[in-house]
Amino acid sequence: MTMISRRIDELKDEIIESTREVLMIKSVEDEPSENAPFGKGVSKALEKALEIAKNLGFNTVNMDGYVGYAEYGEGDDYIGVLGHLDVVPEGDGWIYPPYGAEIHDGKIYARGTLDDKGPMMAALFGLKAIKDSNLPISKKIRIIFGTNEETGSKDMEYYMEHEKAPLAGFTPDAEYPIIYAEKGGTVFDIVKPMVSSENEDFKVNYIKGGHRANMVPDYCEASLSGFSYKNLEAYIKEFNKREGFKVELEDKPKEIIIKTFGVSAHGSVPQFGKNAIMLMIEILAGLELSNSTLKEFVDFSNKYIGHEVYGESFGVGLEDEVSGKLSFNVGIIDYHEDKLTMTLNLRYPVTFKLEDMTEPFNKRLEGTDIKIENFEHQNPLYFPEDHDLIKTLQRVYKEQTGKEPELLAIGGGTYAKEIPNIVAFGPIFPGKPDLDHQANEYIEIEDLILNAKIYGNAIYELAK
């Protein structure tokens, strides 16, 4: 056992109590105020974390409530550990108070135990163990406490405007062993203007479905006028044979409502869901629609998107060995008389560039009057397997756990994307439940302490 790990065992009770102190603060984003850009609760959690760090003997800085850090060592270059103190709302269904930080059966229960308050306290005490052991380091070390990861990461925008990036580091905002590849992400709308006429015999009044771009929609509905209920009912019977889908009809005095039900999944893994919007598109494609501009869009999207989740027919079926296939998710649809908007979430493999996706995508739109609007993009994150940072974290993980440090590639994005030279590293161990954003979130005390040992040793290996 290293000096760092021995010291963490001695600090166990202090680690638990400090973690509980931070967990007892409800740090959900709220109305901004002076030096509290994300609300008083978030600000209070930041102040508490910095107070704990100061009492442990570290220099601390509060950057106007946007972000704070605890610092140890000398020099301009630094190793960074980045995590966040803001949490998502607690929701319902808790068996223990979500901000009670109560201990039951060796587990601390509270919102933020895994995401990220618990592991950030583990990292802080890992640094304390380095300090107490008087181990020589050649670089400065910062534990960076973010405050806005859950609702926009404006904290890291502010940080990077005022500070330079770390030489290397990690974020305890995901799972073990190491996430070395995160796909590039885009969210955008495709928009088609609609031309309606007074004499529409078979009219679609509206289509609406989905809530978020990064979720496979499990519900969509459309309002139709002028159609025979009996004929629609016979037509829909075929669709109700589809596995994982269900279609309902509601007959109203002046309209018929079609309701499609699918299976929700995260937008990074649309293959695990059933897209209710695209089922609706398929249903509408088989109907006689009076509005020619709507018919054009329905036929186009049914042909080139359909139920595909990898973008092959659209011409964007990119794939690499590191991170697999591009994912293509239709998250939201909104159609009323003047325009139709469909919100897409495409995530492309890490060894490709954005234009490798956008050029064929735009080519497919040629000849239509469909436009792209509200385009958002996040670059992929990728560290080669032989990168020093990856090798160091792998070695420490194996030494501390005895398990093989397999590398993970994901379609989602972690906090690691917010500043350069960072990878996601823990805190969830293989085989343990991912309770982030769930009711009854907890961290096992044994895992909290093991995280502190892993993070302390990793920080030292990077900074020595």
User: Which residues belong to the active site?
Assistant: 86, 149
Q: Domain boundary at 377, 409, 429, which?
A: 377
Spatial separation of the C-alpha atoms in residues 48 and 52, rounded to whole Å: 6
pLDDT at 68 over 90: yes
199 and 160 belong to one structural domain: no
Here the contacts of 227-235 (C-beta below 8 Å, separation 24 or greater) are: 227/202, 227/256, 227/287, 229/256, 232/256, 232/258, 235/283, 235/286, 235/287
318 and 193 belong to one structural domain: yes
Spatial separation of the C-alpha atoms in residues 296 and 300, rounded to whole Å: 6
Task: Give pLDDT tens digits for 214-257.
Answer: 899 999 999 999 899 999 999 999 899 888 899 999 999 999 99
Spatial separation of the C-alpha atoms in residues 34 and 71, rounded to whole Å: 25
Q: Domain boundary at 377, 404, 435, which?
A: 377
Question: Residue 135: its pLDDT value, please?
Answer: 95
204 and 314 belong to one structural domain: yes
191 and 250 belong to one structural domain: yes
Q: Which domain holds residue 20?
A: 3-183+381-463
Spatial separation of the C-alpha atoms in residues 226 and 110, rounded to whole Å: 54
444 and 455 belong to one structural domain: yes
Q: How many domains does the chain have?
A: 2
Mean per-residue pLDDT, 438-445: 96
8 Å CB contact between 49 and 67: no
**Which CATH number covers residue 323?**
3.30.70.360
Q: Domain boundary at 377, 405, 425, which?
A: 377
pLDDT at 361 over 90: yes
Q: Which amino acid is located at 102 in the chain?
A: E
33 and 171 belong to one structural domain: yes
Q: Global pTM?
A: 0.88
42 and 170 belong to one structural domain: yes
- Residue 196's pLDDT band, with cuts at 50, 70 and 90, is confident
- Residue 290's pLDDT band, with cuts at 50, 70 and 90, is confident
8 Å CB contact between 44 and 107: no
348 and 359 belong to one structural domain: yes
Question: Residue 327: its pLDDT value, please?
Answer: 97
207 and 170 belong to one structural domain: no
8 Å CB contact between 276 and 215: no
421 and 361 belong to one structural domain: no
Cis before 427? omega within 30: yes
147 and 37 belong to one structural domain: yes
**How much is the mean pLDDT over the chain?**
95
344 and 285 belong to one structural domain: yes
Question: Residue 198: its pLDDT value, please?
Answer: 65
Q: Cα 143 from chain centroid?
A: 22
Task: Give pLDDT tens digits for 20-56.
Answer: 999 999 999 999 999 999 999 999 999 999 999 999 9
Listed in sequence order, the residues at least 6 apart from 310 whose beta carbon sits closer than 8 Å to its beta carbon are 271, 317, 319, 325, 326, 327, 328
Count of other CB atoms within 10 angstroms of residue 407: 16
